[in-house]
Amino acid sequence: MPSPREKRLQKEFQRMKDIVSPHSLFRFFCADLSDSEAAEFLKSQISYDVIHQHLPGLLEPDAFEKKYIGLPPEKYLVVYECNGLARDNDGNIGKTAAHAMEIVFGWDYPSKPPTFVWHTPIWHPNFNTPNICIGLC
Amino acid sequence: MKNQGSHLIDITDPTQDRYAALRLIDWWDQERVQNAHLMVIGAGALGNEVLKNLALLGVGYIFLVDFDTVEASNLTRSVLFRPEDGGRFKAEVAAESLHKINPDVHVQPFCGDVTHDLGLGVFRQMDVIIGCLDNRAARLAVNQACWHIQRPWVDGALDVMDGLVRTFMPPDDACYECTLTEQDYALLNLRYSCPPGFTLTTGRQPTTPMIASIIAAMQVQEAMKLLHGLPVSSGQATYYSGMGMRLTQVKYTRRDECPSHLMFEPIISLPYGVDDLTVGQFLDLVSSYGNGENMIRLFLPRQIVTVFHCPTCATDVPVYRPYEDVVPVEVPCPHCGKLRLYSNISYITASAKNHNIPLSQLGITHFSILPVQLAQRWQYFELSADKDSIMNRQEK
């Protein structure tokens, strides 16, 4: 019998799947990265080549469901493909089109909110990589 | 009502037996009280009064939890503290005073925070847990612990002239978390997200020794009923209004999706303590209890940051410490000062490379019970070798 936490995570998974469409500006992956994969991931410039070739623990939702039957994802990587602004190392502001955010659900979820880590450079009042201000905390 | 009417009253010599008057109560069983293990969480105004009563009754073992120290303003409501105790741990001072009141009582002080420092194994050794707390986060932690190992707990709360008592008896009826509203969760998260060095004002509510005695007395009476198997109404609050001299009862509604409703079963006792094992050793042990599952996950009580990566300096620093301990304080790179990326996890798998990390580094405390997912099954592993070091620690 799934625990209240697992039931809630399944519900979140369904909601994530429901809001993605072929036209949406973001996609998401279910992460079951080993520690070393996660470290590799931090070093990489986000690209689909990296995601598919080097990180077998990063799965599309349907692949995740096939591999972990009946289990909800505990960690997501959300990739946004939309234009934004980012500051380079010299402080110049330029255009950027790929953004990535990680969501991790703790053992104490849903009594406590998940943690969010923004991975990509961005120039925006609500972001200061890796921090995000979403009024949750 | 296991015992009512079936108990012979012992008539003892009141000049020799300090419990003579208690033994005259037809349902009272002094031996049961002497063998009881009770936990009291919080040694503030309420805790002092609860402890005083437990010592007078001769409760055999009291595990007392409080992380705070005595200050002058406690002295108006704390029968167990003296002016010269200022600056000492409340739990230790209270334990000494209780020993003077009744040397039959063994009090084990624990100077730590119930939300992070106390292993679930301790709760499992208790008959009843009494909450003398002043904040939601601690109540939530106690509630979840009591639900996991199915022990009753009696919560008390104080205002100036009013107070309330409520007993929760998992798995029946509503629990504390069932009563939480969206607003309560918002306030809880506000507390969790306090920046370092900033603490919410708790323990500073206006209150008197009178309301503390009234509420504490009701809590201890409920605890004694629980010990003796007398019927107790759980999942409801009894409000006491001192201005109107009224008692009001409110029944709570049980929430089926309440996150607290998780029973740890089965619990497997391991002959090791938290300091004896690395993550790798623990996972190896655990796999010997499995059916050859290839997916084994140790869920961590707190999220763990595994690595900091500085994109500017291109450096990686392994971390493996609790999220709240390192974020946001250690996020800036010590070399360039820019904010670093980090990776955090809620569980560790058997395939993880970092097998040599001690369990104690991962926010796991002594005498913990650790949730492990083996494919679709759950098993819970108690670090049982820690029992004596926590429950029968010799004071220096």
Residue of chain A whose alpha carbon sits nearest to that of B192? A137
A-chain residues within 8 Å CB-CB of B295?
A: 68
Give B-chain residues touching A111 at CB under 8 angstroms.
140, 144, 177, 185, 188, 259-260
Q: Is residue B27 part of a domain?
A: no
Residues of chain B in contact with residue A56, where contact means CB-CB under 8 angstroms, are none
The answer as to whether A25 is a domain residue is: yes
Structural domain for B355, as ranges:
267-391
Q: Residue B222 domain-assigned? A: yes
Q: What pLDDT, on a 0 to 100 scale, did the predictor assign at position B8?
A: 77
State whether A75 and B306 contact (CB < 8 Å).
no
Residues B173 and B178: their CA atoms lie apart, in Å, by 9
On whether residue A106 sits in a domain, the answer given is yes
d(CA B348, CA B283): 9
Smallest Cα distance from A118 to chain B, Å:
8
Tokens of A35: 């520690």
**Residue pairs between chains A and B whose CB atoms are closer than 8 Å:** 114
CATH of residue B163: 3.40.50.720
**pLDDT tens for each residue of A29-40:** 898 777 777 777
A3–B331 C-beta distance less than 8 A: no
What pLDDT, on a 0 to 100 scale, did the predictor assign at position A53?
61
pLDDT beyond 70 at B380: yes
- Kindly state the percentage of chain B with pLDDT values over 70: 93
ipTM: 0.89
Residues B94 and B227 placed together within one structural domain of the fold:
yes
Q: Which chain B residues touch A33 with a CB distance below 8 Å? A: 343
Q: What is the pLDDT of residues B262-305, one digit of tens each?
A: 999 999 999 999 999 999 999 999 999 888 888 899 999 999 99
Q: Structurally, how many domains does chain B consist of?
A: 2
What's the predicted TM-score (pTM) here? 0.92
Domain end point (choices B251, B285, B320): B251
**Residue B12 located in a structural domain:** no
Interior CA angle at B194 toward B192 and B198, to 5°?
A: 140
Looking at the structure, do residues B192 and B62 belong to the same domain, yes or no? Answer: yes
Q: Is residue B31 part of a domain?
A: no
pLDDT category at B195 given cuts 50, 70, 90 is very low
Instruction: Give the mean model confidence (pLDDT) for residues A73-95.
Output: 89
Q: What is the pLDDT of residue B197?
A: 45
Q: Are residues B275 and B220 in the same domain?
A: no
- Which pLDDT belongs to residue B352? 67
The structure tokens listed for B264 are: 């740890």
Residue partners of B234: CB distance under 8 A and separation at least 6: B152, B167, B168, B169, B172, B173
Does B343 contact A38 at a Cβ distance shorter than 8 Å?
Answer: yes
Shared domain check, B359 and B210 = no
Angle at which helices B136-149 and B182-192 pack, to 10 degrees? 100
Question: How do residues B323-370 score in pLDDT, each as one tens digit?
Answer: 999 988 999 999 999 999 998 899 998 776 667 899 999 999 999 999
Q: What are the two backbone dihedrals, phi and then psi, of residue B260, each rounded to the nearest 5 degrees?
A: -70, -20
Query: What pLDDT is recorded for position B196?
Result: 43
* B170 plus B202 within the same structural domain: yes
**Domain limit, last residue, from B224, B251, B278:** B251
Instruction: List CB contacts (< 8 A) between A86 and chain B.
Output: none
* In contact, A32 and A68? CB cutoff 8 Å: yes
Same domain, B160 and B277: no
Q: Which residues contact A132 (CB under 8 A, 6 or more apart)?
A: A101, A116, A117, A118, A126
Q: Residue A137: inside a domain, yes or no? A: no
| B247 and B167 inside one domain | yes
Q: Is B129 among the domain residues?
A: yes
pLDDT of the residue at B277: 96
| Closest chain B C-alpha to A72 CA, distance in angstroms | 11
**Higher pLDDT among residues B205 and B360, named by residue:** B360
- Per residue in B147-166, pLDDT (tens digit) is 999 999 999 999 999 999 99
Residues 55-114 of A with CB under 8 A from B: 68, 70-71, 74-75, 89, 102, 104-113
| B75, B155: one domain | yes
CATH number of residue A67's parent domain: 3.10.110
List the domain range (segments joined by +) for residue A27: 4-132
Q: Is residue A87 part of a domain?
A: yes
To test the contact with chain B by mutation, choose from A40, A111, A128, A132 the residue with the greatest count of B C-beta atoms within 10 A, namely A111
Answer whether B54's CB lies under 8 Å from B62's CB.
Answer: yes
Same domain? For B98 and B151 the reply is yes
Report the domain count for chain A: 1
Nearest CA in chain B to A3: B262
Cα(B348)–Cα(B210) distance, integer angstroms: 50
